[in-house]
């Protein structure tokens, strides 16, 4: 689609439909869902098990050909499950699979097809049963994980660090560096002279941001009509 032909009131109705789905379908499956979630196409978000805790101002994106999956699968009680902080971005196709504890701090960004797990899910020699050993995964504040990267069990990625596309992270990555490769290795440090602006810095005033986006959408869609929208289905 080159242009959005929907009138503004149709788009608002679409947002309300998404909100109802989130309220009645997604939210009851979560231990906690924070304020002001921005969840796109929530019917393409799959949740299994728990607990799953999501903070404020989450951006969670679903897509028909890239299901986003948050899974907690364990036979143990009183586990931490998946904990996601405030202002986090989770792109289409991300899979987070926890047997005990995966912690993603504020302002982290996960690109499409990222996979994070705290377990190998099968033993090396006895593959008939899931292994009992797990090791928690921690992404500290403002970590950016690139497209199709894999973060394995027992890993901590330090504050502000970037993991390159396709990397396989099998050991800890320190703060303020760029890492890439299989297995992932530090490529270079971030420039300490450069100021880092996080998603929390940019989007903390969600009410003002919402008003700005609504004003922009009204202006962008003001010429659209209902019949023009219907026509676009047949003559795009």
CATH code, domain carrying 39: 2.160.10.10
Does a structural domain hold residue 12? Answer: no
Percent of the chain topping pLDDT 70: 99
Mean pLDDT on 20-32:
95
pLDDT grade for 89, boundaries at 50, 70 and 90:
very high
- Among residues 162, 164, 138, 142, the alpha carbon closest in space to that of 152 is found at 138
Residue 96 φ then ψ, to 5°: -120, 115
Does a structural domain hold residue 161? Answer: yes
Q: Which residues form the domain of 77?
A: 31-204
Does a structural domain hold residue 117? Answer: yes
Does 78 score more than 90 pLDDT? no
Going from the C-alpha of 178 to that of each of 38, 158, 199, the distances in angstroms are: 28, 10, 18
For position 1, what pLDDT does the model report? 59
Q: Which tens digit of pLDDT belongs to each residue from 169-227? A: 999 999 999 999 999 999 999 999 999 999 998 887 777 777 888 888 888 888 888 88
- Sequence-distant (6+) residues with CB within 8 A of 203 are 57, 87, 209
Indicate the average pLDDT of the chain. 92
Does a structural domain hold residue 61? Answer: yes
- The pTM of this model reads 0.89
Domain count, the chain: 1
For position 79, what pLDDT does the model report? 93
Does a structural domain hold residue 103? Answer: yes
Does a structural domain hold residue 181? Answer: yes
Mind giving me the DSSP string for 186-209?
EEEE--TTSPP--HHHHHS-HHHH
Measured CA angle at 76 (ends 42, 54), to 5 deg: 30
Measured CA angle at 55 (ends 108, 25), to 5 deg: 115
Does a structural domain hold residue 139? Answer: yes
- Among residues 41, 50, 51, the alpha carbon closest in space to that of 14 is found at 41
For position 129, what pLDDT does the model report? 76
Does a structural domain hold residue 213? Answer: no
With the C-alpha atoms ordered 35, 84, 62, 222, is the resulting torsion angle positive or negative? Answer: positive
């Amino acid at each position: 689609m080159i242009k959005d032909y929907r009138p503004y009131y149709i788009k608002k109705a679409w947002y309300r439909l998404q909100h109802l789905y989130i309220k009645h379908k997604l939210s009851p499956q979560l231990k906690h869902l924070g304020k002001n979630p921005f969840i796109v196409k929530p019917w393409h978000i799959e949740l299994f098990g728990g607990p799953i805790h999501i903070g404020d101002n989450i951006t969670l994106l679903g897509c028909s050909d890239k299901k986003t999956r948050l899974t907690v699968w364990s036979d143990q009680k009183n586990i931490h499950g998946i904990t996601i902080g405030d202002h986090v971005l989770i792109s289409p196709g991300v899979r987070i699979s926890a047997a005990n504890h995966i912690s993603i701090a504020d302002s982290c960004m996960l690109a499409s097809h990222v996979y994070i797990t705290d377990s190998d899910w099968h033993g090396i020699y006895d593959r008939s049963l899931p292994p009992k050993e797990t090791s928690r995964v921690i992404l500290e504040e403002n970590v950016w994980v690139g497209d199709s990267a894999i973060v394995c069990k027992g890993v901590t990625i330090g504050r502000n660090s970037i993991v390159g596309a396709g990397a396989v992270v099998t050991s800890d990555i320190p703060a303020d560096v760029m890492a890439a490769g299989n297995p992932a290795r530090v490529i270079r440090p971030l420039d300490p002279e450069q100021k880092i602006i996080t998603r929390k810095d940019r989007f903390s005033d969600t009410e003002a941001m919402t008003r700005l986006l609504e004003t922009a959408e009204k202006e962008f869609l003001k010429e659209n009509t209902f019949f023009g929208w219907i026509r676009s289905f047949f003559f795009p």
